[in-house]
Amino acid sequence: MVWVLHAEPETGSVFDPARGFVRLIEPLAPAPGEPVLTKTAHNAFTTTGLQQILTSRGIGELMIAGIRTEQCCETTARLAADLGYRVTFVIDATATNPIAHRDAPADQTVEQLLSDPRTLPASAVMERTEYVLAGRFATICTMAELTAQPVR
């Protein structure tokens, strides 16, 4: 397994490592020898040595899980497919937030975001990701489907 964290140094955002949020969440912990990479791009390849790690280990198939279904996870899946990897996207092992409409005020409250009928709910974001990736960039599966498969 390869672990990937997203960082935006010196931005003051929640992704600024100085704020202490860019870390693995308990009880997640890499096993000995599992790389932990920190990326600064939306995908896990561009600003890391991920492709070199995968190539050196002879890995040709990826399973994608993580936070920001439509952003980091989907972008990584698309790039991985373009690079020739077989990609499985574990949809219910990803998470995201509702997305505000492009014309919504930047300073709106959470209540305003959620009450705006133009807001795209997280469930719709995930459904859209399934539609755009399936059969093009990835095989979509759930954790139940993944765990029901025989171990290879």
CA–CA distance from 149 to each of 52, 60, 101, 144, 152 (Å)? 28, 19, 39, 9, 9
Please indicate whether residue 73 is annotated as part of the active site.
Answer: no
Among 4, 62, 72, 80, which one carries the catalytic annotation? Answer: 72
CA–CA distance from 43 to each of 64, 72, 88, 109 (Å)? 11, 5, 16, 28
Active site residues: 72
